[in-house]
Structure 1
Amino acid sequence: MKINPENHSTHISQKFNDELEEIRSQLLEMGGMVEQQVKDAVQSLLDGDTRLAKEVRAKDQQVNHLQLEIDEFCTQILARRQPAASDLRLVLVVIRATADLERIGDEASKVARATLKLAEEGASPRGYIEVRHLGNHVRQMVQDALNAFARFDSAKALEVLREDENVDLEYRSATRALITFMMEDPRAISQVMSIMWVLRSLERVGDHASNLAEYVIYLVEGQDVRYAELAQIEAAIAQRKQATQASD
């Protein structure tokens, strides 16, 4: 059954409504925290700002704590309310999504750690433009995935999945360019390798954003699209949309 955001979470028990809304709000709060982590981590690297890098790493504990709180709240809802249908999907999606958000925070922390390492070794001669572009790209993916969740918008989630392919292409292109540079100038291998690990972390952020988008599609469309090809997901959503329009 497809979720209609207008009538989702309407129950006899107002308390149950409030609990479902609370886990949605908490997930979005956690998402905002990790999105800011990614932004600050990239900025710390570009500016060589070790203070900001340390703040990013310190914030990781807050993200971890919030994940535990949300998971515990979801467990209580499952035990007390025994939700079904779309409500059950919502709770399951929140549990899954917090795990991916926590991993995004971990990747941001790795980028911040690279900032501290490069501050000691000396800045890399190449790769900062690539970090800026890829960092902006994956941060937008995270933001779009969270907006899709907030609005029960499977079309926006599908856009995030399409962007993941572009991120992968961008990552591979940047990696090839940096490998070529290291072959030409081995003196900078250590610093450039740090940038390559940063790019790898950012690419992983894009992967986790894609996971978030898949959860939104599952939540809204009632179809688990993990491991499905993009073309299959697009076809399934289009078919369901046509069926819905035909029944109206």
Structure 2
Amino acid sequence: MDNMNLNKHISGQFNTELEAVRNNVLAMGGLVEQQLSDALVAIHDQDHDLARRIVETDLQVNNMEISIDEECTRIIAKRQPTASDLRLILMISKTVTDLERMGDVADKLARMVLNNKGSQAPLVSIENMGRQAIKMLHDALDAFARMDVEAAIQLYHDDDKIDRQYESIIRELMTYMMEDPRTIPQVLEVLWAARSIERIGDRCQHISDYIIYCVKGKDVRHTKISDVDSL
């Protein structure tokens, strides 16, 4: 952490508490990143055993979200933080919500594998888009760890790449449905999976918003990329 000067006026114990909760966020993010990576492998290999492990681990992700949120509430009640300290706590609370939702995506992708009794691979490969989304999550966590505004801004451009790939997958799936209506149930399933992965990019962009807000004190939600680039 570059410490954002972690407020020289705060007590050493307060600083330790903030660092601890930040580290817990990174641990949760690392677990979600692994879950998503495993989910892509499970889909590619139609690995039901791996899919079951992903579903089981989702409970751990959920518990981490609750634990971190409770710690944020405790810090606010005990320390009554202001200015950048308060922004940091709010940022952490929002970040873990997005991470938990990304964990839900991994869980649902795993359940898609488990429900696929015929062990049939998806009509269209979503692995490349999935890998891009996982890299984006990794970069978002890295930007979070360093409170790096420039890296956070780059995430906006990375999300555009995922959006374009999602649009390409939609066009390919539409072709399948038009050529053979019998594929519609499969297409809808893959379309849902692709949309869920695309949302990971959106949630990583949310984390970039939080980083910019925490460091700059500026709310950039719903802001054009060109305006964010000029920060």
After TM superposition, the score normalised by the length of structure 1 is 0.89
Which whole-Å deviations, capped at 9, do the CAs of 1:177-228 have from their partners, x for residues lacking one?
A: 1111121122332223221111111011111111111111111211111111
Change (3 A) 1:41 1:217: same
Which residue does the alignment assign to 2:64?
Answer: 66
Answer yes or no: is the 8 Å Cα contact 1:171–1:200 preserved in 2.
Answer: yes
Of 3, 6, 28 in structure 2, the residue corresponding to residue 5 of structure 1 is 3
Of 122, 126, 139 in structure 1, the residue corresponding to residue 123 of structure 2 is 126
How far apart, in 2, do the equivalents of 1:184 and 1:121 lie? 22
Aligned length: 231
Of 220, 228, 244 in structure 1, the residue corresponding to residue 223 of structure 2 is 228
Which whole-Å deviations, capped at 9, do the CAs of 1:11-66 have from their partners, x for residues lacking one?
A: 45221111010111011011111111111111100011011111111111111111
How far apart, in 2, do the equivalents of 1:230 and 1:224 lie? 13
Q: Within 5 Å, which residues of 2 pair with 1:19-58?
A: 19-58=17-56
Which residue does the alignment assign to 1:179?
Answer: 174
SS in 2 for 1:61: helix
Q: CA RMSD in A?
A: 1.6
Which residue does the alignment assign to 1:94?
Answer: 92
Is 2:145 the counterpart of 1:147?
no
Which residue does the alignment assign to 2:114?
Answer: 116
Greater mean deviation of Cα atoms: 180-189 or 165-174: 180-189
Change (3 A) 1:139 1:125: closer
How far apart, in 2, do the equivalents of 1:124 and 1:100 lie? 28
Percent identical pairs in the alignment equals: 43
Which residue does the alignment assign to 2:207?
Answer: 212
Which residue identity lines up with residue 123 of structure 1 in the other structure?
Q
Q: Which runs of 5+ in 1 are unaligned?
A: 238-248
Greater mean deviation of Cα atoms: 182-191 or 198-207: 182-191
Which residue does the alignment assign to 1:242?
Answer: none
Which whole-Å deviations, capped at 9, do the CAs of 1:81-118 have from their partners, x for residues lacking one?
A: 01111111110100010100010001111111111122
Is 2:94 the counterpart of 1:103?
no
Answer yes or no: is the 8 Å Cα contact 1:125–1:188 preserved in 2.
Answer: no
Is 2:77 the counterpart of 1:82?
no
Answer yes or no: is the 8 Å Cα contact 1:138–1:205 preserved in 2.
Answer: yes
Change (3 A) 1:54 1:219: same
Q: Which runs of 5+ in 2 are unaligned?
A: none
Which residue does the alignment assign to 1:240?
Answer: none
SS in 1 for 2:219: coil
Answer yes or no: is the 8 Å Cα contact 2:46–2:121 preserved in 1.
Answer: no
Change (3 A) 1:14 1:194: same
Which residue does the alignment assign to 2:186?
Answer: 191
Q: CA shift at 1:230, angstroms?
A: 1.2
Answer yes or no: is the 8 Å Cα contact 2:4–2:215 preserved in 1.
Answer: no
